[in-house]
Chain A
Amino acid sequence: MNTEIIKVSHLEKKFGDHLVLKDIDFLANKGDVISIIGSSGSGKSTLLRCINLLEKPTSGSIYFHGNDIQSQGFSLTEYRSKVGMVFQSFNLFNNLSVLDNCIVGQQKVLKRSHKEAEEKAMDYLTKVGMSQYIHAKPKQISGGQKQRVAIARGLCMDPEVLLFDEPTSALDPEMVGEVMEVMRRLAISGLTMLVVTHEMSFARDVSNRVVFMDQGVIVEDTVPDEIFNNPKTERTREFLARMLQKN
């Protein structure tokens, strides 16, 4: 049975006069792992940032379990704690240790006790292979390690959905693997994930749906097999050819 978690309806976003998202309709069900692909500037990040309201949509609606997230009385902070985000540039809290990065949100937002928060943090940090580094400050660890901590920080909030905006694009090639591996395992575990990525292998092998965006429009939204073997439009074909050549 499909449980709808996030529904985007007629979403439009303008920066000044620049129309960046045009009439976006989009649905994420529980357990979906959706790859969002498309060339630079096509609006992928903007779509993700609208979903957790880091950007305010110009028009259109976004529903979380059927509730309009922009309506009066909707608790934005509670919503955001359930929809986590992993950024391209990690954005770990620079003043806090690895462990505290994973604890602070649980304590401040979810009001968990320090003990409970620490246990949870240790649990996820172990799962992403970072338990040795709990006392390190972000500036003392590598990019791949930072991103794994950022993923653990997101997981600690027990999110229903985790949004990833090009989580491996800022990494040296040898570190991409360790982060992709963590994400692959998350996908298997059943977490709902929306992943903006240039990693075609993730899109093809891990996700159950691929969304191709071009110039602010969703051009295709289908299963990986379909989009990789039988792309409907010329633009999709060109983009995939370019991406697969690079890899």
Chain B
Amino acid sequence: MPTSFFGWVVFFCKKYGVFFLRGAGNTLLISIISTILGFIIGLAVAVVRTVPIDEHDTKFRRIFYKVVQGIFVAYIEIFRGTPMIVQAMVIYYGSAELWGLDLSPFAAALLIVSVNTGAYMAEIARGGIISIDKGQTEAAQSIGMTHWQTMTTVILPQAIRNILPSIGNEFVVNIKDTSVLNVISVTELFFMSKSAAGTYMKYFEVFFITCVIYFVLTFTVTRLLLVIEKKIDGPDSFIIHGSQTTPEGIIEGIEEK
């Protein structure tokens, strides 16, 4: 048996290396999938919540949107207003008891983190959408685009670019917060660490390793996201096309009708 702190660290790395990696892999997998699913949920909720409704719409449409909006607001408030660790217990055991669903801990984990992230993303995405200058929408409408076309070609690309840092933030939060899923025995990093530490009663040494792994995960992810942001922004300069032209004599092409 090792005698020093580092002796133990090396011992655990050797003996439980694969174990740690599996845990880290699961943590990463759950956070990636859930962040993406959460983003899709959030975006969908935000798009519906920002549909313009006015007194000219039919009564049915207005009532329908009122109801849907109400449901979405309730969803956002409930999932932001309760701890994920509690949501995990309620959903995992509740789904078994109420509907006899036999979710695997992993499937339950994806469900819980996605839906939880979706609630935060919904507000982030809505903020992104309403922060885009009204002139962009008006310009799109003035050339005849529908609301949906305006959204997909003009507003959402800009909104998503603007909220990328917040999406990255949610991703990092998810990497860390999946640790609460150990309460439903998901074999993520924290759960694996606890098992390893318990066997030898060496909590400090094991969780020191765990700490380093979490940090490496989150740090890598934040760097990667910065690279992606840069990539999306494209180059600072543009290529001049062809040679200099001056406005021509008369602008034709207005077809005689």
Residue of A nearest to B233 (CB): A137
A154 contacts the other chain (Cβ, under 8 Å)? yes
* Bound complex: CA A177 to CA B142 (Å): 25
A93 pairs with B140, CB closer than 8 A:
yes
Decide if A54 touches B247 in the complex (CB within 8 Å): no
A132 nearest CB across to chain B (Å): 5
Contact status B257-A160, CB under 8 Å: yes
Pick the interface stretch among A20-28, A185-193, A206-214.
Answer: A185-193
Which B residues touch A92, using CB under 8 A?
139
Which residue from A83, A90, A134, A137 sits with its C-beta under 8 Å from B241?
A: A134
Of B56, B144, B153, B241, which contacts A132 at CB under 8 A? B241
- Report the interface size for chain B: residues with CB under 8 A from the other chain: 42
Q: In the assembled complex, how far is the CB of residue B107 from the closest CB belonging to chain A, in whole angstroms?
A: 37
User: What 0/1 pattern do residues 171 to 192 of A give for CB contact below 8 A with B?
Assistant: 0000000100110011011110
B247 touches A157 (CB 8 A): no
**A195 to B98 CA separation, bound complex (whole angstroms):** 66
B145 near A108 with CB under 8 A, answer: yes
**Chain B positions 235-257 with a Cβ under 8 Å from a chain A Cβ:** 237-257
User: Is the beta-carbon distance between A54 and B144 smaller than 8 angstroms?
Assistant: no
B136 neighbours in A (Cβ, 8 Å): 91, 93-94
Tell which of B145, B146, B157, B240 touches A95, judged by Cβ atoms closer than 8 Å: B157
Q: Is A132 touching B244 in the complex (CB atoms < 8 A)?
A: yes
User: Does A19 have its Cβ within 8 Å of any Cβ on chain B?
Assistant: no
Binding site for A on B (CB under 8 A): 54, 56, 133, 135-136, 138-146, 149, 153-154, 157-158, 161, 234, 237-257
19 pairs of residues in contact across A and B, judged by CB atoms under 8 Å = A54-B142, A79-B144, A80-B141, A82-B144, A84-B143, A90-B135, A94-B158, A96-B153, A109-B144, A126-B245, A128-B251, A129-B245, A131-B241, A131-B245, A135-B238, A155-B253, A178-B247, A185-B249, A189-B252
- Lowest 10 CB-CB distances: which A-B pairs, in order? A81-B144, A91-B139, A91-B135, A85-B142, A105-B143, A129-B247, A109-B144, A136-B238, A80-B144, A95-B157
Known contacts A93-B154, A95-B157; 13 additional CB pairs below 8 A are: A77-B144, A79-B144, A81-B143, A105-B145, A108-B149, A127-B248, A129-B245, A129-B246, A131-B242, A132-B241, A160-B257, A189-B251, A189-B253
| Chain A residues within 8 Å of B, Cβ to Cβ | 30, 52, 54, 56, 77-85, 87, 89-97, 104-105, 108-109, 123-124, 126-129, 131-137, 140, 150, 153-155, 157-158, 160, 178, 181-182, 185-186, 188-191
